[in-house]
Chains A and B, each alone.
Chain A
Amino acid sequence: AAGVIQSPRHLIKEKRETATLKCYPIPRHDTVYWYQQGPGQDPQFLISFYEKMQSDKGSIPDRFSAQQFSDYHSELNMSSLELGDSALYFCASSPDRGSYNEQFFGPGTRLTVL
């Protein structure tokens, strides 16, 4: 079965640089979520999109932005990177099946900021 695809899997950047993370949801899933998991932490919700429109916003810094494109893939753009942005970034997708909507997670992108 197709899974959520994230690229790149690993990314190393310097402070103040920019980074773009990509997410390809499972086909026919119309909602995409982004989560950030710092070292030894639980995942924190950043932002989500439903049918290409932003649907919920969590603790996403102003330096970050995201969008969902017409083919449903999503990109998380991160600017002015800080050391504290080093984390595992997950994308998840879910179908719209009414009240039960399981979220399927991608393998994550591990971002290291030096």
Chain B
Amino acid sequence: AQKITQTQPGMFVQEKEAVTLDCTYDTSDPSYGLFWYKQPSSGEMIFLIYQGSYDQQNATEGRYSLNFQKARKSANLVISASQLGDSAMYFCAMREGPGNTPLVFGKGTRLSVIA
């Protein structure tokens, strides 16, 4: 079974608008972490934001926020005030258990920001 599901292969957003990228996850481990990474066409993997399973508040990092709904097992990424430079592939990933366990990635969502 897919552990991380990203149902939007591609998304378009107007510059300066907000956009939500969906991510649902599947785990039976009570301790887990959820990550979002941005991968521009150049290929590097850029860390954006992290949410731990025991965190009470939704994570925020600048224009990025994570809408964490634990009961629904969803961890959607919200990008506010989109910029042309936000056009990239976005991956949701999960680490199960505490410590240094490997990441499992979703298939990604390609975001295109339109001027």
Contacts and interface: CB of A to CB of B under 8 A. Distances in A.
How would you classify the secondary structure of chain A's contact residues: helix, strand, loop or mixed?
strand
Given A42-B91, A105-B37, A100 B100 contact: no
A55 B104 CA distance: 16
B105 to A, nearest CB: 4
Contacts, number: 66
Interface in A84-114: 88, 90, 92, 94, 96, 98-105, 107-108, 110
Contacts of B108: 42
A45 B104 contact: yes
Interface residues of A, number: 29
Contact of A42 (B44, B46, B98, B106): B106
A31 B103 CA distance: 13
A4 to B, nearest CB: 10
Interface of B: 31, 33, 35, 37, 43-47, 50, 52, 54, 91, 95, 98-108
